[in-house]
Structure 1
Amino acid sequence: MHIEPFQIAIADQDIDDLRRRIRATRWAPATPSPAWQQGVDAAWLRALAEYWAAHFDWRAAERGLNQQPQFLADVAGQRVHFVHRRGVGPAPYPLVITHGWPGSFVEFRHLLDRLCDPAAFGGDAADAFDVVAPSLPGFAFSPAPARPGMSAFQVADLWASLMRGLGYERFGAQGGDLGAGVSIALAARHPRIVDGIHLNFLPGSYEPAEGAAQKPLTSAEEKFLREKNEWVALEGGYAHMHTTKPRTLAASLNDSPVGLAAWIGEKFRAWSDCEGDVERVFSKDELLTNISLYWHTQCIGPAMQMYWENRLQPMRFGEGERVVPPVGFAHFPKEIHHPPRSWLERTFDVVQWTDMPAGGHFAAMEKPDLLAAEVRRFFRPLRQQRR
C-alpha cells in the first residue's frame, strides 16, 4: 500500500472565487413564518454569509488543519485521505474513527487531542490511542469512488485494509452518523481483527432479525420506532433527497456557497445540544471551516452518494445473525434518535451503555471530554486482553 504525506493547500483564486460568489448571492424572498420553522433562518444565514465573505480566514483554518499529520493512501484501488495521530503513552491502542454527514475529519480535532495524549488532559497515559481518522470516499480529500456500490460495508473493507497497511493487526473502531454504520460493518465483516466498537449513533436503517425466535417488541422499543417514524416524516426530507435524487440536489449546492451553508448549517443547529442557538456550541469559524472544506473540495455531491449506496445495502441482519465483537454505546440526550438498549442487544453484545448528561449528534465537537472518557473506558479492558 502506497502512502504519502499530505497538506491542504487551496489556491488563492479559489478563495477569491468563493468570496465573489457569496457577495453575488440572489437571496430567497422571505416567507411569513417564525425563525427556523421552515428551515434555515434567513437573518442568521445572511450574517454567516457576510462573515464568510469579509472576515473568515481560510488560511488560518488551513494552518490549523495542517497541524494534524495527514496522508493519502491507495487502498484496494481507492484513494483515501486520513489523519494518523500517534499516541503519547507506553502502549497506544490502535483505533479507527469515522465521521459522517454533514461533518468531516475536522470534527475530531479536539477529540484526537484527548485520545492520543490523555495525560495532557488529566488522564492516564496508559489510555493513549494511535488514532486513524479517514475521510469517507467522496468526502473532503478522499476522491469519489470510480464505481457504484461504495456503501458502509465496502468502506469497512477499505478501513480493514488501511489498518493492516499501517501495521495494525488488530484494532478498535468508533463512529457516529455514517461512521457508526462503517464501524458496525467492520465488526460484522472483520470480527477476527476488530476487538470492539464504540458508537454514539445507531444507523437509521438498522433492523435486527425478524422471526419466531425473536422476542416481542418491548414498550420502549415500540415507542422508539414510533418516534423514529415521526422524526423521519417531519425532519427526514434531507435524507430522502440524498437517498433518491442526490445529483439533482448537488447541482444546486455545488454552485451556491450560501445554499451549501444553509443545507449544512441548519443541521448543526437542529441536531446539536444548543437550545436553538447554534453559536452557543459552534463558532462561526468552526462552522465555516467544515462548510468551506465541502466547498473547496466540491464533495457535496459525492458525499450524498453514500446515502444512495446505503439505501441499496441497508444495515439489516438475518435470522440468528449477531455481531460478535463487543459494543459500547454513548447515548447523548440531543441525538436525533433514541434507541433503547434492548433494541441494540437484539444484534449486539452491548457491554457498556451510558446515558450522557449533555451533547448531541456532533458529540466529538460538542463534548470531546465526555466522549473521550467513554471511549477510553470502553477500550480499557480490551487493550488489557491484548497484552
Structure 2
Amino acid sequence: MINPFRIDIPQDELDDLRDRLARTRWSAEIGGQGWSRGVPTGYLRQLAAYWADGYDWRKHEARLNDLPQFTTDIDGQTIHFAHIRSLEAEATPLMLIHGWPGSIAEFLDVIGPLTDPRSYGGAPDDAFHLVIPSLPGFGFSGPMCDAGWTHGRIAGAFTELMHRLGYSRYGVQGGDVGAFVAPAMGRQDSEHVLGVHVNALVTFPIGADGEMDGLTESEQERLARLEHWQQEQSGYDKLQGTRPQTLGHGLNDSPAGQLAWIVEKFKEWTDSAADLPEDAVNRDAILTDVSIYWFTQTGASSAHHYYEAHHDPSAWAPREPGTVPTGVAVSLTQDVAIRRFAERDHNVVHWTEFERGGHFLAMEQPGPVRRRRARVLPLPALIVRTAASHRWRRYARTPGHPISDDVFIVDLRVAHRDKHSARQAALARGPVGVGMLRHRRRDLGAVDGDAERDHAGGLAKVHPSAVNATKSRASMLVRGDRGSGRRAGRGDDLPGVGVLVVQGVHRDLEVRLGHRGREHGMAGGSVEGVAVQAGRVAVPVCWRPAVWCRVGRLGRAGLARIRR
C-alpha cells in the first residue's frame, strides 16, 4: 500500500531545538588551526545562532511539501519518497538516490530542470518523471527497522518501489551511497533498468598486473586524494562503520553536535575553491538538510548504514561486471574515480570530468539543462547526456500512460502456445492515422517453423525479427502467414503493423495483425496488459525476448525501433 505523506513538524519540536541550541556548552579550541582539526568553534557558534533565530524551517518545510510525497512498507521498512510526474507525457522515469549526509532536499533545485526542461531552455524530449526516495534509516524513512540494510538490500527495496509505481523501464541516478545502490539496482533488475548515472563514485585498484601503468597526471592526483582521505578525513567513516550506536547518543541529543557532524562534510567535500560551506552550497539548503536529520532523529540511524556496509560479506566478493549502460560524473576537485577501474566493474558508456562543483553535485551545480559542450555541466545536463548517449529516452515509456491524445504505450506479456511464451510486446500509436511502416524489400512468405497454426483464422503468428529506423523510412523483416505466398515490392505496406482491439476499459486485450488495413486473425493466445481507452489502435507488434521498443513520429507516420 502507498500512502500520501506530508511533513508537519510540531511547533514544540522547533521550540525545543532553539532551546537546546541556546544552552549549548561550547568546546574550547586551539587558536589558529582553522578547519584542519574539524569545525572551528567560532564558525559553528555563528551558524547555530542563525539556525536558531534566522533560519525559517516552516518556509523550507512548505517547499518540501510542494512535492507529492508518499510512504510505503517494503521488507518491513518504511520507505518515504517524492514522486514528481513531468507534464511531458513521454518523459522517462528516473530515480534519484541521495547519500550521507544527504536527503531528498539536496535535489530540490534539479527537479524543475529535470521534469520541465522546456522552461529551462532544454528540449521536451529530455524530461523525466522523478522518484526520489529517502534511504532506509534516513530522514522520513527512518529510523532503521532492523539490521542488514546493505547496499544490495536497499537496491532490492528500490527496484520494488519502481515496480509498485508501475514503471517497467526506468533510469537511476545516485551519488555517494546512491553511487553504490544505483549500480546494484542495475545488476538486480537489468531487465527494467535502462541505465545508471552516478557521481561521487569510489573506485579502487585491486592489485592487478599493469592496472597502474600509464595513469594520467589527473588520475594520479585522484589516487593521492584517496590516500589523503584514508589518512586524514576518514574518521567519520571509521566511527560510523564500527560504533554507530555510541556516536548516535551525542548526535540525537545535541543539535550543535549534529550540525558540526554534517557541516564538516559540506566544507571538506564541496568545491575546493569555496572558503566556507555556504560559499559552495546555500546556507539555508545546508540547514534544511541538517534539520531533516534532527527532526527525524536519524543521525544515529543513518550512521548504522556505514556499519552495515563495512560488515557486508558480499561487498568485496567477486562479481560479474554490470551490464547496464552507466554514465559517470567526476569532480576534478573532490572525486577519486578512475575510468579504467570503473570500467572493470561497470558498463561505462559516458564519462564526464568537471572542474567546478564537488561531492554534492545536485546542490552545487543544479543549473539548467542545455545541450552544449562545456567544462561546467550541471547534474541535469549530465543525466540528459548519458540518457541521450545510450537512448534511455527512446526506449522508456510509462505503461498505460497516454503519450498524447491519440498515442498509448502498453507493456504486455503475451502468453503464446509455443516456445515463444511470455515474450514482451510493445504496442503503440493510435487510434487515428498512423500510417503503415514502409517496406523496402523483405520476404513475407516464409513461415516460422515453430509457430503453431491453431490460432483463430488458422493463421501462423507473424514474428517481426528486426526493425531498423532512419529519418526517412523504416524497414522490418517479418515472417508472414503460410498462405500468403507473395513477396512485397518496394513501397508495399507491411503486415508487421497490427491492430490492438480493446474490449472496453479493462485488461481483456487481444492482438490482431493487419496488412493494407485488413485484419489477418489473432496473433497469439491470452494477453495480460494495462488498460487503455476502448477502441481499435493500430500498433507495431514486437515479439522478441527482453527487447526495448521506441515509438516516435516521422511526420504523421509511426516509427518502431527494437534495440536488442
Which residue does the alignment assign to 1:384? Answer: 394
Q: Give the alignment of 1:1-387 within 5 angstroms.
A: 2-203=1-202, 216-220=211-215, 224-273=222-271, 274-313=273-312, 315-316=315-316, 318=318, 321-335=320-334, 337-369=335-367, 370-380=378-388, 381-385=391-395, 386-387=549-550
SS in 1 for 2:96: strand
Report the Cα distance in structure 1 between the residues aligned to 2:224 and 2:281, rounded to whole angstroms.
31
Q: % of aligned pairs identical?
A: 39
Q: Is the 8 A contact 2:95 2:172 kept in 1?
A: yes
Q: Which runs of 4+ in 1 moved over 4 A?
A: 206-211, 221-226
Distance 2:194 2:177 in 1: 20
**Distance of aligned partners of 1:66 and 1:5 in 2 relative to their CA distance in 1, 3 Å threshold:** same
Contact 2:117 2:123 in 1 (8 A): yes
Q: Distance in 2 between matches of 1:84 and 1:103?
A: 18
What do the CA deviations read for 1:25-61 (whole angstroms, capped 9, x no partner)? 0010121332212110211111111111112111111
Residues 59-106 of structure 1 deviation map (CA, whole Å, 9 limit, x = unaligned): 111111111111111223221100101012140101111000111000
Contact 1:208/1:347 (8 A) holds in 2:
no
Contact 2:137 2:145 in 1 (8 A): no
Which amino acid letter does the alignment assign opposite residue 386 of structure 2? F
Q: What is the letter of the counterpart of residue 154 of structure 2?
A: V
- Paired AA for residue 182 in structure 1: V
Aligned-partner Cα distance in 2 for 1:311–1:69: 34
* Alpha-carbon distance between aligned partners in 2 of 1:9 and 1:233, rounded to the nearest angstrom: 42
Structure 2 unmatched ranges of 5 or more: 368-377, 396-548, 551-564
- Letter of the 1:382 counterpart: W
Contact 2:357 2:365 in 1 (8 A): yes
Secondary structure, in 3 states, of the residue corresponding to 1:364?
Answer: helix
Q: Which runs of 5+ in 1 are unaligned?
A: none
Give the whole-Å Cα distance in 1 for the aligned partners of 2:310 and 2:109: 32
Q: Is the 8 A contact 1:88 1:117 kept in 2?
A: yes
Q: How far apart, in 1, do the equivalents of 2:333 and 2:8 lie? A: 35
RMSD of Structure 2 on Structure 1 (CA): 1.8
Instruction: Confirm or deny: 8 A CA contact 1:197 1:328 kept in the other structure.
Output: yes
1:351 partner letter: V
Question: What TM-score comes out, normalization by structure 2 length?
Answer: 0.65
Structure 1 counterpart SS, 2:145: coil
Q: 2:249 & 2:144 partners in 1: Cα distance?
A: 18
Partners in 2 of 1:21 and 1:106 — Cα distance? 24
Q: Aligned with 2:253: secondary structure?
A: coil
CA contact (8 A) 1:191 1:324 kept: yes
- The alpha-carbon distance between structure 1 residues 317 and 87, as it changes in their structure 2 partners (threshold 3 A), is farther
- Supply the AA of the counterpart residue of 2:316: R
* SS of alignment partner, residue 20 of structure 2: helix
2:96/2:133 contact within 8 Å kept: yes
Q: What is the CA-CA distance between 1:275 and the residue it aligns to?
A: 2.2
Partners of 2:87 and 2:210 lie apart in 1 by: 46
Corresponding letter in the other structure for 1:235: Q
Rounded Cα–Cα distance in structure 1 between residues aligned with 2:142 and 2:354:
35
How far off its partner does 1:113 sit? 1.3
Tell me how far 1:229 sits from its aligned partner. 2.5
Q: Between Structure 1 and Structure 2, how many residues are aligned?
A: 380
Task: Evaluate the alpha carbon distance shift between residue 165 and residue 215 of structure 1 in structure 2; reply closer, same or farther with a 3 A threshold.
Answer: farther
Q: Give the secondary-structure state (helix, strand or coil) at the position aligned to 2:324.
A: strand
Larger RCO: Structure 1 or Structure 2 (Cα < 8 Å, ≥ 6 residues apart)?
Answer: 1
Any idea what SS the aligned residue of 2:325 has?
strand
AA partner of residue 218 (structure 1): D
Q: CA separation of 1:90/1:146 partners in 2, compared to 1, >3 Å: closer, same or farther?
A: closer
Larger-gyration structure (1/2): 2
- Cα distance change of structure 1 residues 105 and 359 upon mapping to structure 2, 3 Å threshold: same
1:353–1:62 Cα change, 3 Å: same
Distance in 2, matches of 1:227 and 1:267, equals 15
Cα displacement (A) at 1:144 = 2.8
1:246-299 Cα offsets, whole Å, 9 max, x none, are 111111111100111111011101111152222222233211111111110000
Q: Deviation digits for residues 13-36 of structure 1, max 9, x if unmatched?
A: 100000000000001012133221
- Answer 1 or 2: which has greater helix percent: 1
TM-score calculated relative to the size of structure 1: 0.94
Q: Secondary structure at the match of 2:237?
A: helix
How many angstroms apart in 1 are the aligned matches of 2:205 and 2:166? 34
CA distance in 1 between partners of 2:206 and 2:163 (Å)? 31
- Three-state SS of the structure 1 residue aligned to 2:379 is helix
